[in-house]
Structure 1
């Protein structure tokens, strides 16, 4: 078991399982119960850069139809070129980077309509 301190508690890991344990005062616990659950952002229409790196090529333009599995960009990180492919069919709405741009992890490369 690995135990690491985290804000307001600990993160406990054992093999592939992980759990966040909160250690709160009674007042903090009462306030936590009133907080709404955080909704995950909808990224279904986006292709994000999986890592920081340099855009080598961007193989799509706005208005182009893209099929699932089609290569849309090549990002170079640590001297390796990584082909970024579309996960679903769609029509390209905007392109967020151009060849030669540096991108951060989770930066939008392509947005679908």
Structure 2
């Protein structure tokens, strides 16, 4: 209970600790020896990958259509793909203007969440 109110969380083992989920929030909890904690404090923060020139799949699913080709000029909001997940078709749109550098999967391919669909030059 928290502040006298019961709640439920999902706890999964993870490297050096646990991953805890509650509703839409997720946290990683480390369980370390004092020496290991001291060494963790010395690690530089992990830099997030630059995905600004990529269109990523927001979910695992099946590529229904991939609507762009290498060399094509794409504008913000333009449809680049349709991903089917849980029997729903999701239109994936470009979040920036650009020229298509590479195209990842083809229609009929399965994709994972955060898989690169299209990369801009």
Same fold (TM over 0.5): yes
Moved over 3 A (4+): 1-24
- The TM-score normalised by the length of structure 1 is 0.81
Structure 1 equivalent of residue 55 of structure 2: 47
SS of residue paired to 2:83? strand
1:38 to 42, 46, 60: 46
User: Structure 1 residue 47: deviation in Å?
Assistant: 0.6
Query: CA, structure 1 residues 102+19, in 2 after alignment: closer, same or farther (shift >3 Å)?
Result: closer
Structure 2 equivalent of residue 66 of structure 1: 74
- The TM-score normalised by the length of structure 2 is 0.77
Gap runs ≥5 in structure 1: none
Query: CA, structure 1 residues 79+11, in 2 after alignment: closer, same or farther (shift >3 Å)?
Result: closer
SS of residue paired to 2:35? helix
Query: CA, structure 1 residues 61+15, in 2 after alignment: closer, same or farther (shift >3 Å)?
Result: closer
1-structure distance, mates of 2:105, 2:18:
39
User: Structure 1 residue 83: deviation in Å?
Assistant: 0.1
Structure 1 equivalent of residue 102 of structure 2: 94
User: Structure 1 residue 29: deviation in Å?
Assistant: 2.1
| Backbone CA RMSD of aligned residues | 2.5
Gap runs ≥5 in structure 2: 3-7
